[in-house]
Copies of this chain bind each other. A is one copy, B any other.
Amino acid sequence: MPTTEQRATNITWHEGEATRDERHRNLGQKGATLWMTGLSGSGKSTVAVALEQVLLQRGKHAYRLDGDNVRHGLNKNLGFSAEDRTENIRRIGEVSKLFADAGILAITSFISPYRADRDLVRKLHADAGLPFIEVFVDAPLDVAEGRDPKGLYKKARAGQLKGFTGIDDPYEAPEKPELHLKTHELTVEQSVAVLIELLESRSLLSA
């Protein structure tokens, strides 16, 4: 076994921190946040899951933030009051910003119905010089409700869920999203193709 001194001869470092550019070059891509917003059942998760698969196939690096890994973890001490919903989105925005800074494509899929909350996350990224791509994942309410993958619309219509977006709480559609994805007019493959083209057109998939 080599001694500590011998091992240490392979180690060189210099003053100053590794830069964002160095991290991104090392990953062969630029970090960014792809923020999917839309009604429950609009297709956010389906598109996010498919996009991650296709990026991985191409050797690119993405990570999805969604209810599964955030609501039961980082944000498990938040409820559904107006204040807590805003804090929920703020924290997700801050975490996606850290992933983007690290060089990973953060793909978030949360309803995130309020414009002010999304605009705050956009500003967080702008202030940090990191790309924020808002994707309006859009399907008409009757289509989304017809899909109802989690049975939530049914519960909301039955009055078992209060403050449900699209039923008794508003969805504030993005006014100027980077992309408007009408999932009822596209296959999943087509949605992913459009997203990949958007990422490529912004040179985010190369360092």
Q: Which residues of A contact B (CB under 8 A)?
A: 4-5, 7-8, 10-14, 16-18, 22-23, 26-27, 49-50, 52-54, 56-57, 59, 61, 63-65, 69, 73-74, 77, 87, 91, 94-95, 97-99, 101-104, 124, 186-190, 192-194, 196-197
The answer on a CB contact under 8 Å between B193 and A8 is yes
CA distance A191 to B118 in the complex (A): 42
Question: 25 A–B contact pairs at CB < 8 A?
Answer: A7-B190, A7-B197, A11-B189, A11-B190, A11-B192, A11-B196, A13-B49, A13-B54, A13-B188, A13-B189, A13-B192, A14-B53, A16-B49, A17-B53, A22-B56, A23-B61, A26-B56, A26-B59, A26-B61, A27-B61, A63-B101, A73-B124, A74-B91, A74-B98, A99-B102
